[in-house]
């Protein structure tokens, strides 16, 4: 199972999908305050904490102003004026959030909803100021027939400072919109990453399915040519091909496998080739033990060894040698395939026409590792060709743990789904069983 697996965390029909659009939108508008309440005491604590800081700032300003003007300072009255007004705004903050959620300023409605917020900020600011003055005249100030509470006087006293409180409303609106737009941006980035990964996964799967028929065709062609010369050897090759295909099916869904598994598959393939070239093919492995658990692309070595045998060994009448090596260097895994054939044409090595095996290998490495890999073709000074692959070293254990973590929920969902399907099948089959049909 591949580790390139992503899920949409939301699932189901979203609130802005075509089906059920109006219903979902109405539910969202009606339940804006409920969503706010579900945030719990943490959100309330943040709201009251922010307004408490603003209340401290207002009280300190009023204290300094009265001290400079040498007016009498009454701490209780000072706190009631500053904190009372701020805490009334704190209680009104859920209403502000509901208005912001109900009348979001978007491109298609920015003028209409902006006017709504202008009106709401004015009405809310005036209402809070009038109610605050009423509380002060009722519970804080000493009763005075000469200066009774008056709504007109409260509104008139609010006018010189209305811009301050209207501005606070708009600051809340702007911060809320900025936070929401940032969340949308993050969701968009996540979706783009998921789509990129799914596209890469599909491309890798297509490349891998391109390798399998190519390899199978070449092997069957080799068996057909051997059939007229040595029937027993051809029969052995068919048996080994069956074992090889069985191994390939075991890792059919994985883009990466351990080097140990890849070498096991390669060894079965080489056994088939030895039947074709019993006296001319020698294969030497130089595998460092610490590399056996490294992750490598599935079926990455077989096409390269096939090319080495086809172009480096088959055209010769003398004994040829193919060397496969793997070692670690500075946290990188280096894979080398070398043959003792004629090598690549020197005059066009940089613009070599690549067949299915080399072009497929290059494309898969690019999709899996991006710029973190090297794929080089070169001639060996002593004769022959060499292919070098350098990829990041990743132990197979980390891959397995990551894949298991991703798939645990999937297995649980699959089990429950299979059980439900079995119950449905049984319910459908019972009448037929009673009638003797099944």
Any domain includes 210: yes
Look at residue 80 in the predicted model and tell me its pLDDT.
Answer: 85
Kindly tell me if the per-residue pLDDT of 434 is higher than 70.
no
Kindly tell me if the per-residue pLDDT of 201 is higher than 80.
no
Any domain includes 274: yes
**% of the chain at pLDDT higher than 70:** 72
What CA–CA distance (Å, rounded) separates 15 from 26? 10
Q: Give CA torsion, residues 52, 57, 63, 67, to 10 deg.
A: 170
Kindly tell me if the per-residue pLDDT of 380 is higher than 50.
yes
| Residues 7-45 pLDDT 10s | 333 333 333 333 333 434 444 444 554 554 455 677 788
pLDDT category at 401 given cuts 50, 70, 90 is very low
* Residue with the larger pLDDT of the pair 32 and 140: 140
Grouping H, G, I as helix, E, B as strand and the rest as coil, residue 17 is coil
pLDDT category at 359 given cuts 50, 70, 90 is confident
pLDDT category at 350 given cuts 50, 70, 90 is low
Provide the phi-psi class of 338: left if phi over 0, else alpha when psi is between -120 and 50, else beta: beta
Provide the domain count of the chain: 1
Any domain includes 334: yes
User: Could you identify the residue written with the tokens 């299915």?
Assistant: 356
pTM, to two decimals: 0.47
Kindly tell me if the per-residue pLDDT of 162 is higher than 80.
no
Closest CA to 124 of 99, 160, 153: 99
User: Could you identify the residue written with the tokens 């049984």?
Assistant: 426
CATH number at residue 350: 3.30.565.10
* Residue with the larger pLDDT of the pair 435 and 275: 275
Write out the residue range of the structural domain in which residue 361 sits.
Answer: 193-394
- Cα–Cα separations (whole angstroms), residue 229 to 226, 234, 269, 276, 314: 5, 9, 20, 10, 16
Any domain includes 230: yes
Any domain includes 318: yes
Q: For residue 437, what are its two tokens?
A: 């049909």
Q: For residue 433, what are its two tokens?
A: 């069983």
Strand partners, 334: 327, 390
């Amino acid at each position: 199972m591949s580790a390139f697996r992503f899920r949409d965390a939301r699932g189901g029909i979203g609130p802005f999908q075509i089906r059920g659009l109006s219903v979902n939108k109405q539910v969202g508008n009606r339940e804006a305050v409920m969503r706010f309440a579900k945030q719990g005491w943490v959100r309330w604590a943040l709201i009251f904490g922010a307004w408490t800081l603003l209340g401290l700032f207002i009280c300190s300003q009023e204290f300094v102003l009265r001290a400079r003007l040498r007016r009498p300072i009454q701490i209780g009255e000072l706190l009631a004026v500053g904190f009372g007004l701020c805490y009334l705004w704190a209680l009104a903050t859920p209403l502000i959030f509901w208005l912001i959620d109900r009348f979001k300023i978007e491109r298609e409605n920015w003028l209409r909803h902006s006017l709504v917020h202008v009106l709401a900020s004015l009405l809310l600011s005036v209402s809070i100021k009038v109610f605050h003055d009423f509380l002060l005249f009722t519970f804080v100030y000493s009763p005075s027939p000469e200066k009774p509470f008056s709504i007109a006087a409260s509104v008139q006293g609010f006018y010189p400072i209305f811009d301050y409180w209207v501005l606070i409303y708009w600051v809340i609106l702007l911060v809320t919109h900025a936070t929401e737009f940032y969340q949308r941006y993050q969701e968009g980035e996540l979706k783009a990453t998921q789509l990129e990964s799914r596209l890469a996964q599909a491309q890798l799967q297509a490349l891998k399915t391109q390798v399998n028929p190519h390899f199978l065709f070449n092997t069957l062609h080799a068996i057909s040519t051997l059939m007229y010369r040595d029937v027993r050897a051809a029969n052995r090759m068919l048996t080994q091909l069956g074992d090889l295909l069985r191994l390939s099916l075991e890792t059919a869904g994985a883009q990466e496998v351990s080097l140990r598994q890849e070498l096991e598959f390669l060894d079965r393939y080489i056994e088939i080739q030895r039947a074709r070239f019993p006296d001319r093919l020698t294969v030497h492995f130089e595998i460092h033990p610490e590399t056996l658990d490294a992750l490598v692309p599935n079926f990455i070595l077989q096409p390269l060894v096939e090319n080495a045998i086809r172009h480096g060994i088959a055209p010769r009448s003398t004994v040829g040698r193919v060397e496969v090596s793997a070692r670690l260097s500075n946290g990188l895994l280096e894979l080398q395939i070398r043959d003792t054939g004629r090598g690549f044409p020197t005059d066009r090595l940089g613009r070599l026409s690549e067949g299915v095996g080399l072009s497929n290998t290059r494309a898969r490495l690019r999709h899996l590792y991006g710029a973190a890999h090297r794929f080089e073709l070169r001639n060996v000074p002593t004769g022959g060709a060499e292919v070098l692959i350098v990829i990041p070293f990743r132990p197979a254990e980390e891959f397995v743990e990551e894949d298991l973590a991703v798939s645990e929920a999937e297995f649980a969902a699959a089990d429950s789904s299979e059980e439900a399907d079995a119950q449905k099948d049984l319910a459908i089959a019972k009448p037929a069983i009673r009638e003797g049909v099944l």
